[in-house]
Structure formats: C-alpha cells, structure tokens
Amino acid sequence: MREAWAPLAVLAAFAAAPLIGYSGAYETTLMARAMILGMAAVALAFLVGGAGLVSLGHAACLGVGAYAVAILDAHGVTEAAVVLPAAIGAAALFALATGAVAIRTSGVHFIMITLAFGQMAFFTASSLAAYGGDDGYTLYGRTEVAGTRLLEDRLAFHYLCLAALTLTWASCAMLLASRFGRVLRAARENAQRVEAVGLAPYPFRLIAYAIAGAVGGLAGFLLANATEFVSPATLSWQRSGELLFMVILGGAGRLWGGILGALVFVMLETWLAQQTPHWKLVFGPMLVLAVLFLRGGLAGLVARRG
Amino acid sequence: MADPLLRLEDLRKHYGGLAVTDGVTLEVRPGEIHAVIGPNGAGKTTLIHEVSGLVAPDAGRILLAGRDITRLSAPARVRAGLARTFQITSVVPGFTALENVALAVQARTGSSFRFFRPAAAEPATNAAAMAALAEIGLADRAAIPAGALSHGEKRALELAIALATRPRLLLLDEPLAGAGPEETERLIALLARLRPAYTILLVEHDMQAVFALADRVSVLVYGRVIATGTVGEIRGNPEVRAAYLGEEEA
Amino acid sequence: MTAQLLLVQALNGLQLGILLFLVAAGLTLVFGVMDFINLAHGVQYMLGAYLGAAFAAATGSFWWGLALALPAALAAGLVLEVLVFRHLYARDHLSQVLATFGVILFLNEGVKVVWGAAPLQVPIPPLLDGGIEISPGLQYPIYRVAVLGAGLATAALLWWLVERTRAGMLVRAGATNAPMVAALGVDITRLFTLVFAFGAMLAGFAGVLAGPIFSVEPGMGDHVLILAFVVIVIGGIGSIRGAFLAALLVGLIDTLGKSLMPNLMRLFLDPSSARQAGAALASMLVYVAMAAILAFRPAGLFPVRTG
C-alpha cells in the first residue's frame, strides 16, 4: 500500500484542484473526463490484472450506460433514482449476457469475442435513428437528483466523479482481497490448479465480468452527464483499445494503474490534439513504443522508486 | 473384504484409431497404496486424467465409494473426495506457499463467493494451511512465493494442497519424476506416512519407490491391465516380466 | 423480396464471404502458428486497396495497379513485421493487442495524410465492366463474378499449398502445436515470416479486389478485421477449411440479413419502425450467430489446436 502514494496523490490533487483555482468549465470537464475514464480503467485493470480477462469490449459497457441515459432522456425520464440504476443495470446485463458466452473461451478467442460483441453494440447504437443514430444524441439536460439540477453544478459534479472513482478503486481492491478475489487471481495464473481444489473458475469470472460491466455503466452515466451528448463513438472499439492502453500504461499489475493511465492519456490526448489535427500519427507510435519498452507501465516505474 | 473405494469398470478411450485405454478394470481398496506401472506409452497418465475428470472416457464407469462419478466435472470430483497431483507440478506461482494451501482450505470450508472480508486475514484458514505445510515439512517456507520454491519443494507443496482438500482418494501422477536421490528418499518417507489415513492410487516409474510403498500393483500395457497383485506376485509374474520388467534389471 | 433479388443478394453475400476468407485465411494461420493476435491485419487490406487505387490511377490500368500493388503491399507488411510485430511474438496477448492497435491508429491517420479523407474512386477495368445475365432478365455485374472466381481460385491454391506441399505441412503442424514443431528442429522464425508474409499478401490482394466495389477510405480495414475475427472464431483458429466455410456463412448472413430483416420486421411493425428495427437487428445478426455457434462449440467448428 506504500506504493500507492502516486494514485493517492492524484486523488488528492483532484480534490484540491477546484479549490485552488481550477474550477472553470474547461478544466472541470477535462478532470471529469480523466476521473470517469479512470473509473473505467480501474474496473478494466480489475478484469485484466486480477482475473486475467483481456476484454477488448469494455467501452461497450460505458456506451450501454450512456445510452440508457439518452434513451430515458428522450422519453422524458430524467430522475436519477430511475436513470442511475437503469444505466448500471443495463450495462451489467449486457456484460452478463455477452460474458456468459465469451468466458467459455480463453486467450485469443476471448479477446476477439469481446471485440465482436463490442462491435455489435456499436452497430446497434448506430442504427437507433430515434436516438440520433450515427450523429449521436444531445441530452436536454443533466440527470436530475430528487428533482433538483444538482449535477449541473460544476463543483458538485466534480466531487461526485471523484467519489465514484475512489469508491471504484476501494471496491475493486476489496474484491480482489476477498475469498472471491483469491479464486480469480489463482485462476488467472493457473486455472487447472483452481479446478484441482474443487472450484470451477467460470462462475467467478462471469461475476467479475458483470461487476466490471456495472462499473462501466456507472462511468457511462457520468460520461453522458459530463458532455450532455452521447454517440456511438463511445462504444467504438477504438475506445476499448484506449481503455486497455490506460491499463497497460498504468501497469496492469496494479488496480490504481488505471487512475494514472487515464490521467496521462487524457492529458496527452488533449495536448497532442492542440498541436496537430493528425495527432494519431504521433499517438500510434507512442502506443507501440510504450508497449515495447514500458513493461510494468508507469506503476512499475513508480513502484521501483517508491 | 471392504468395498473398494475406487472402482474402474471397463474404461475405454481412443484417439483416432489408437486405443489409449483399452478396457481397464481396476479396484483400489480403502487404506491401500495401489501403484500403476507400465512401459512408456501404456496410457498411465491418460488413465489418471480419466479418473480425475480431465479426459472423458468413451465408455466404462468410474465409481468412488460406490457412487458413479463418470459424468461429474473435475471440480465436482474433488468435492466428492478425489484429489490429485500432476506430473508437471501445478501450483499458483504468484501466491505464497501458504496462500496456495489456503486456497484449498478455503474451497473446502464455506463458500468462496464472499466479497467483503479479506481472505488473507482468516485465522482458521491460515491455521489449517500452516498445519498442512507443517505436515509436509514446508512450514518455514510458508511466506515464499511458490514460483521461487525448488522443484522438490513445489512437489511437496502440491501434495500439501491435495491433502488440504481432505480427500478420500489421492491420485499421484509420477510424484517422484525429476527428483534427485535425496528428494526421492524424503518423498517416499512422506508418502509412507500417509497410509492408512489416505488411500492412494499412484502412477510411478521409479521401481524402488513402487516396491517400497505399494500394497498392490497393477501393470498397464497398451492401455490394458495385464496383471494385478502384491509386489511379490507381480515380480514373479512371467507375463509382466516379459512385457515390462524383463527389459530392465528388476 | 423476389427470388431474383434474393439471388442477387446471395451472390453478393458469397462475394463478401470470399473477400473475408482472403483476409481471414492469413489471420487464422498467424493466430494458429504464432499465437500472435494481429489487429493490424485490417490495415494490410486497406493498404492493398490504397496501393491498388494509387497505382491504377498512376498507370491508367487496373491490371497494372494490381500487379504493382501486390508486391508493394507485401513489402509494407514485411516492414511492419520487422519493425513491430517481430518483437511481440514472445509477449502476452494484451501487449500484442495494444501495439497492433497503435499501428492501426498510425496507418489510418497516415493514409488520411497521404491521400486525404475522402474516399478514392477505383474504376472497374473495362474488360470486366458490364453485366452478365444470370437468370432471364437479371443482370449481375461481371466484376463481382470475377471477384468470386478469383477468390475461389485463390482458395483452391491455398488448399493445395497447405495440404499438398511440404511447407504447407509444416504450417499445418505449426498451427496444431508450434512448440513441438520448433523442437523438431524446424526453423520456426523462417516459418513465421513465411506465414506472415503470405497472409499479408492475401489481405492486400483482397483489398485491391475490393477497391472498385467498396469505397477506399481511411478505416475501411477496421470493419473487415472484426468480421474476419468473427470468421476465425466460428471457423476455428488455425483452420483454413473452417475459415472458408465460416467466411461464406458470415458473408451470407450479413448481406442477406441486411436486406431481409427490414422486410421481416414489416410483418410486425409499421414501415419506418420496421426499417429501424430491421437495421438494428441485421447488424446484430452476425454476432448473435457467432454467440450461438460458440455456445455449442466454444473452439469453433473445426478446431485445430492441440498444443
């Protein structure tokens, strides 16, 4: 836990930022994005580093959550007490259904199947003309909390995202340390050994997948509210790839790597995009180099020093 | 005579045209150490896989204490009292020796679908795991990651894990493979101490170990049991000599 | 939906399937022999299309475009192999996914910089222009028939190479159990490079063929890649035969689904809802089929791996 000074420092920085002057619309949106993607990345790190499930379809869970907000909004339902559980529930259900099939496979199969299901969600969202189709959907306003426009208060939303991020990290850490987590971690390294003590890995993995999906749904809910706009791009496999990048950038071995990875990614993406419209020409090779040379990710670098 | 703890009835398995298990009928009595020997390619490891549930036989039955377990999954058979070790040692390298055994204890005691309390802080589980390690002689290596243990220590750890599931029947797949002379002595002594509390079906190449440990021996040749009997009976059996022992200095 | 329209759509489906097969064949071997998950295979297809379009425009002839594009696409593939892929064979799948993802980002942006974001037009060669009558009163484009023919011929060539030559035997053995083949003294690096290069060329070839039919634009390889993944998962990793059958199946399901689904929905819904629901369901169809097949055969229809 001593090694976790870096992510703890980041969380503290997020907590302090609005109070020391970073409270404008631009900064808070950027920070919200970093925190929300950080949540999703921590959940993915839980799957990848904890359970050994490399999912290339995680963005789909965010998308399902975001679209739940959009679809309910289109029908006039904006109360958080309904929208939030709907977003989380829909995403968890999606993860459960696709996971039930995907987790029967492993390795390369699993990666490809999660990618395929992510694409399925993407195409489905693109074809929903009533909710914007390819062009996306603009919310009438942010989700209301008990009838109030609480979430439209920048500070309130900022600290809500921070709370969600912290809660996600704490919960995933707790899960990994529990009996449930022990079976997951063992199965990641040696599924045969787990079976040989009398436990079948499948139900544990499926539950982990559904939990990660639920967190994705929560992140999607927050994302929809942050930008007040939802489009199929949220579900694209490029987004899933970016989430995996955050995990590996942070270091797949540690949950909090997702927090660091998301922050660096958002900063990098924002800065690069300001330099050139063709920033992916730079970002692509950076990704390749990071994979080739940054083994253990940033978390590995931090841990070695700390 | 007591009912057999394990009974294999006319087990058959073929890959393509090759019959790897060709009608194996075998009984293991409670409290005995029953060795299965045979030349390379006889199908010994496949037989262990069929009994433990990794490979599904094409025909035949497997009965554990009279209960037909032929259709049970491998984890279900473990819960029914059947534990095994592997020819290529199979532990969780990133876990400490203690946590490896604790996993087995956890599987046996209460549900693993617990999400809130830290597993490493369960006093009862840890105590049981330490006791199993002590029994095997690995108590002082408890905090070492299993991947860092020596080959012999890993083998002993596997045995400790298997024992921690409190099995009625232990399947040991060449426990002495790759062991040096000192280690072999240790492991033989260890296994000898397990009788009669545990019943053991042992596949082994090392004849010294087999003759020292086995109550009864079955000889497997080309997927078929050609003889079953005590060590003395097997040594004297001309068919066995011809097929197997005759090729080495017995 | 008349029988004639159905026939046209079925032929289109087969033709999509054959293109998918060309892309999937190389991919399934690379997965099977090298256990290397290559997301960048789709850009091989895209590069083939762009190079074919560029050379055709420069020389004024589709055939010259094809002849020049193939070795160029192969060369590009080998450059990528040496620069990036080679260093990933021993790494874990996550690293492979991310590094090849980086390659996609780079090349998708790269073609945008070189050729612009607007789709390129590739004219059908005069020799193959026009239609032939496949049934009374029904014309079908000759070019599409030619693509179908070329694809089948390549499939036959591939089958012969894999089943009847020594190199092919090594590839098949490698797809079943690569460490074993290496242990038998086969130069596994040369085998890897051979498999990779051949796969890259097949994908590039498919790209050139696709130029006149589908639009040549940045990112065109991404959708094809994912469909190719579905093909491989359904067919069984490492199996050419599986890839062939699965590719035709996926091509047919996708094409027929897109044309039939909206009509099917008209039985239950009003026209505009039917169109929407039909489109939504059609896009899910291939993946639902994949899920259904995997439910019964998690290793695909013709699994090959034993190692």
Q: Mind listing the pLDDT tens digit for each residue in C129-151?
A: 888 887 777 888 889 999 999 99
Tell the residue number behind the tokens 């994705």, with chain if given. Answer: A216
Distance from the Cα of A288 to chain C's closest Cα (Å) equals 4
Spatial separation of the C-alpha atoms in residues C237 and C231, rounded to whole Å: 9
Q: Do C276 and A105 touch (CB under 8 A)?
A: no
Please report, rounded to a whole number, the percentage of residues in chain A having pLDDT higher than 90: 61
- Residue with more model confidence, A21 or A56: A56
- How many domains does chain C contain in total? 1
pLDDT bucket at C305, cuts 50 / 70 / 90: low
Query: Which sequence spans correspond to the domains of chain B?
Result: 6-81+167-247
Q: Which of A128-142, C93-107, C223-237 has the lowest mean pLDDT?
A: A128-142
Question: Mean pLDDT across the stretch B225-244?
Answer: 86
Q: Give B118's contacts in chain A (Cβ within 8 Å).
A: 174, 177-178
Residue C252 lies in a domain: no
Q: With helix as H, strand as E and coil as C, how does A209-237 read?
A: HHHHHHHHHHHHHHHHHHHCEECHHHHCH
Is C84 an interface residue toward A (CB < 8 Å)?
yes
pLDDT tier at A179, thresholds 50, 70, 90: very high
Could you tell me the sign of the dihedral formed by the alpha carbons of A250, C219, C175, C301, in that order? positive
- Taking CB atoms and an 8 Å cutoff, what residues of chain A touch B115? 174-175, 178-181
pLDDT 10s digits, C80-126: 988 898 888 888 888 898 899 999 999 999 999 999 889 988 888 88
Residue A46 at interface with chain B, using a CB cutoff of 8 Å: no
Chains contacting B (3+ CB pairs below 8 angstroms): A
Residue A305 has pLDDT above 70, yes or no: no
Three-state SS string over chain C comes to CCHHHHHHHHHHHHHHHHHHHHHHHHHHHHHHHHCCCCCCHHHHHHHHHHHHHHHHHHHCCHHHHHHHHHHHHHHHHHHHHHHCHHHHCCCCHHHHHHHHHHHHHHHHHHHHHHHCCCCECCCCCHHHCCEEEEECCEEEEHHHHHHHHHHHHHHHHHHHHHHHCHHHHHHHHHHHCHHHHHHCCCCHHHHHHHHHHHHHHHHHHHHHHHCCCCCECCCHHHHHHHHHHHHHHHHCCCCHHHHHHHHHHHHHHHHHHHHHHHHHHCCCCCHHHHHHHHHHHHHHHHHHHHHHHHHHCCCCCCCCCCC
ipTM of the assembly?
A: 0.90
Using a CB-CB cut-off of 8 Å, the residues of chain A touching C279 are 127
Q: Which CATH code for domain A2-305?
A: 1.10.3470
Q: What percent of chain A has pLDDT over 70?
A: 95
Distance from CA of A23 to the nearest CA of C (A): 33
Residues of A in contact with C219 (CB under 8 A): none
Tell whether the model's pLDDT for residue C172 goes beyond 80.
Answer: no
User: What are the tens digits of pLDDT across the range B99-141?
Assistant: 999 999 999 998 999 999 999 999 999 999 999 999 888 999 9
Contact check, Cβ <8 Å, C283/A120: yes
- Beta strands B82-85 and B169-173: pairing type? parallel
CB B107 to CB A186 under 8 A? no
Q: Is the pLDDT of residue A252 over 80?
A: no
Domain ranges in chain A?
Answer: 2-305
DSSP-assigned letter for residue A1: -
State the residue range of the domain holding C125. 11-219
Q: Cβ A115–C229 below 8 Å, yes or no? A: yes
How are beta strands C138-141 and A137-138 bridged, if at all?
A: unpaired
- Residue C190 contacts A, CB cutoff 8 Å: no
Question: Are C109 and C44 in contact, with CB atoms under 8 Å apart?
Answer: no
pTM: 0.89
Beta carbons of B120 and A175 less than 8 Å apart:
no
Q: Which CATH number fits domain B6-81+167-247: 3.10.180.10, 3.20.20.370, 3.40.710.10, 3.40.50.300?
A: 3.40.50.300
- Chains A, C: CB contacts under 8 A, how many? 131
Tell if the CB–CB gap between B165 and A178 is shorter than 8 Å: no
Is residue A183 within 8 angstroms of chain B, CB to CB? yes
What pLDDT score was predicted for residue B2? 64
- Comparing B53-67, B204-218, C137-151, C180-194, which segment has the lowest mean pLDDT? C180-194
CA angle (C93, C94, C99) in 5-degree steps: 100
Range in A151-155, B71-75, C32-36, C153-157 with the lowest mean pLDDT: C32-36
Query: In whole angstroms, what is the distance from residue A216 CA to residue B154 CA?
Result: 40
What are the CA-CA distances from residue A50 to residues A217, A262, B161 (Å)? Answer: 20, 18, 22
Dihedral angle over CA of A84, A90, A94, A97, nearest 10: 130
What distance in Å separates the CA atoms of residue C173 and residue A205, rounded to the nearest whole number? 33
The closest alpha carbon to B60, from B28, B23, B101, B30, belongs to: B23
pLDDT of residue B250 exceeding 80, the answer is no
- pLDDT recorded at residue A299: 57
Check if A116 contacts C (Cβ < 8 Å).
yes
Smallest Cα distance from B229 to chain A, Å: 30
Given an 8 Å threshold on Cβ–Cβ distance, is B107 in contact with A198? yes
DSSP state of A49: I
What pLDDT score does C249 carry? 94
Residues in chain A with CB shorter than 8 Å from the CB of B164 are 197
Q: Which of A46-50, A148-152, B86-90, C205-209 has the lowest mean pLDDT?
A: A148-152
Task: Please say if the pLDDT value at position B245 is more than 70.
Answer: no
Note the pLDDT of residue A234. 92
Contact A190 B113 (CB under 8 A): no
Tell me the per-residue pLDDT of A63-108, one tens digit each, with 9 for 90 and over: 999 999 999 999 988 899 999 999 999 999 999 999 999 999 888 8
